[in-house]
């Protein structure tokens, strides 16, 4: 039943979903809990690590870098580190990251409609 065959795992289903569903593909990239917020803040302009930290106080440092690393690995943000002695690292959106902004805005628009009770 359920058409799951030999040695099926979560990873295999993930593969399936990634290939079959472009939306799942996007979810993989921005599905982290704080990623959309990070992207949102970066859409306002380049930010230092510490600026992001202060801008999103509820996220822990571990998760913040974790997400930043993933976003960097996925090519959505670009990290620039000046090799100075108190470290100076800035993050900014790549062109792919900027391409996501319309998506983010579409999501925000829907959320506001829902909260305004526009869909009774």
Partner DNA sequence: CATGATACATACTATAGGGTAAGTACTTGT
Partner DNA sequence: ACAAGTACTTACCCTATAGTATGTATCATG
Min dist CB 94 to its own copies, Å, is 7
Hey, which residues between 14 and 33 contact its own copies (CB under 8 A)?
A: 14, 16-17, 20-27, 30-31, 33
**Residue 32 carries which DSSP code?**
S
Neighbours of 92 (CB within 10 A): 15
Question: Looking at the DSSP assignment, which residues form a beta bridge with residue 56?
Answer: none
The interface with its own copies within residues 99-118 (CB under 8 A) comprises 99-100, 102-104, 106-108, 110-115, 118
**3-state DSSP of 77-111:** EEEEEECCCCCEEEEEECHHHHHCHHHHHHHHHHH
In angstroms, give the least distance from the CB of 41 to its own copies: 10
Neighbours of 20 (CB within 10 A): 10
The residue within the footprint of its own copies, chosen from 50, 75, 80, 82 (CB under 8 A), is 75
Structure-token pair, residue 76: 């959505």
Task: List residues binding its own copies (CB under 8 A).
Answer: 1-4, 13-14, 16-17, 20-27, 30-31, 33-34, 36-37, 40, 57-61, 75, 94-96, 99-100, 102-104, 106-108, 110-115, 118-119
């Amino acid at each position: 039943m359920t058409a799951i065959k030999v040695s099926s795992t979560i990873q295999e289903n993930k593969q399936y979903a990634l290939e079959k569903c472009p939306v799942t593909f996007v979810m993989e990239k921005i599905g982290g809990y704080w990623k959309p917020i990070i992207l949102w803040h970066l859409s306002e302009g380049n930010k230092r690590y510490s600026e992001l930290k202060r801008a999103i106080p509820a996220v822990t440092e571990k998760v913040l870098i974790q997400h930043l690393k993933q976003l960097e690995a996925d090519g959505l943000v670009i990290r620039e580190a000046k090799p100075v002695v108190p470290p100076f690292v800035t993050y900014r959106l790549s062109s792919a990251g900027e391409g996501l902004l319309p998506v983010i805005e579409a999501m925000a628009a829907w959320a506001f409609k829902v909260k305004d009770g526009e869909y009774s």
